[in-house]
C-alpha cells in the first residue's frame, strides 16, 4: 500500500479492501490535522490580526473625532469670548464717552437746556447717591422747574436723548398747577434727574491743583 508516496507494508488479518479503507481513513485524518495546523490556524490568526487592526483604526477614528469635537468646542468658546469681549469694549467705550465727570457737568447741561427752552429752575436739591462701585456712580439730582407743558415735554425729551447717560427711571414726578397769581398755563414740576458718573474718568481728568503733587520749589 502506498501512503504519501511511500509504500507501507501492513501485516494484518484484514483483507486488502479493508486495509485500503483503513489507510484512506488514516490519510484523511492526517490531511485534516495538517490542514488545521497549517491552514485553519494561520487563517484564524490573520483574521484576529485584521480584527485587532480594525479595532485600533476605530479607536483612532474615535479619538480623532473627539479631538475634532473638542477643537470645535474650543474654537466656538474662543469666538464667543471674543464677541463678548468686543461687545463689552464697545459698551464700555460708549459708557466712557456718555458718562459725566462730576456734578457740575450735569448741572451745567441741565441749566443750558433749561435756558434754551425758556424753563425756570426754581430749586436744586441735595444730591442722592443711589449706586456706587469702582467704575461708576449713579446719582439723583432733585430739581424743581417751572414752565408750560409743551416746553417741559421737550425738556424731558432732550435730557433723556442727550449724548450723556441721563435718565428719569425711578424718578417720581410731582406736578402742580400754579395758583391764580401765576401765569396761565404754567406748571411746577418736582423731579429727580438720574445720571451716571465715570469714576475712572473723574480720577484721570481731575486737574492737579497748583502747588500739590509736584516738586517743591
- Choosing among 3.40.50.2000, 3.40.50.450, 3.40.50.620, 3.30.70.60, the CATH entry for 103-205 is 3.30.70.60
Average pLDDT, the chain: 76
Please state, in angstroms and rounded to a whole number, the distance separating the CA atoms of residues 147 and 185.
8
Asked whether the beta carbons of 168 and 143 are under 8 A apart, the reply is no
Q: What is the mean pLDDT of residues 119-129?
A: 92
In three-state secondary structure terms, 54 is helix
Q: What is the mean pLDDT of residues 137-145?
A: 90
Q: In terms of pLDDT, which residue wins out, 199 or 126?
A: 126
Percent of the chain past pLDDT 70, that is, above it, reads 73
- The model carries a pTM of 0.49
- pLDDT reported for residue 214: 42
Please state, in angstroms and rounded to a whole number, the distance separating the CA atoms of residues 111 and 207.
24
Name which of 162, 165, 174 is nearest 138 in CA terms: 165
Percent of the chain past pLDDT 90, that is, above it, reads 15
Per-domain boundaries in the chain: 14-98, 103-205
Q: Tens digit of pLDDT for each residue in 160-171? A: 888 777 888 877
- pLDDT reported for residue 49: 83
pLDDT over 50 (residue 217): no
Amino acid at each position: 500500500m502506498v501512503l504519501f508516496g511511500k509504500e507501507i507494508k501492513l501485516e494484518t488479518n484484514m483483507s486488502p479492501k479493508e486495509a485500503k479503507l483503513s489507510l484512506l481513513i488514516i490519510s484523511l485524518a492526517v490531511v485534516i490535522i495538517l490542514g488545521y495546523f497549517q491552514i485553519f490556524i494561520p487563517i484564524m490568526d490573520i483574521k484576529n490580526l485584521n480584527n485587532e487592526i480594525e479595532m485600533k483604526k476605530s479607536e483612532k477614528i474615535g479619538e480623532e473625532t473627539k479631538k475634532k469635537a473638542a477643537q470645535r468646542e474650543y474654537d466656538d468658546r474662543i469666538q464667543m469670548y471674543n464677541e463678548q469681549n468686543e461687545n463689552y469694549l464697545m459698551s464700555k467705550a460708549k459708557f466712557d464717552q456718555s458718562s459725566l465727570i462730576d456734578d457740575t457737568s450735569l448741572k451745567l447741561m441741565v441749566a443750558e437746556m433749561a435756558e434754551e427752552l425758556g424753563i425756570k429752575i426754581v430749586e436744586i436739591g441735595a444730591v442722592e447717591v443711589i449706586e456706587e462701585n469702582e467704575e461708576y456712580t449713579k446719582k439723583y439730582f432733585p430739581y424743581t422747574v417751572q414752565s408750560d407743558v409743551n416746553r417741559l415735554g421737550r425738556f424731558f425729551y432732550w435730557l433723556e436723548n442727550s449724548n450723556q447717560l441721563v435718565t428719569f427711571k425711578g424718578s417720581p414726578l410731582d406736578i402742580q398747577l400754579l395758583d391764580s397769581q401765576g401765569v396761565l398755563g404754567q406748571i411746577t414740576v418736582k423731579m429727580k434727574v438720574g445720571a451716571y458718573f465715570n469714576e475712572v474718568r473723574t480720577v484721570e481728568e481731575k486737574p492737579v491743583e497748583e502747588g500739590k503733587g509736584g516738586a517743591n520749589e
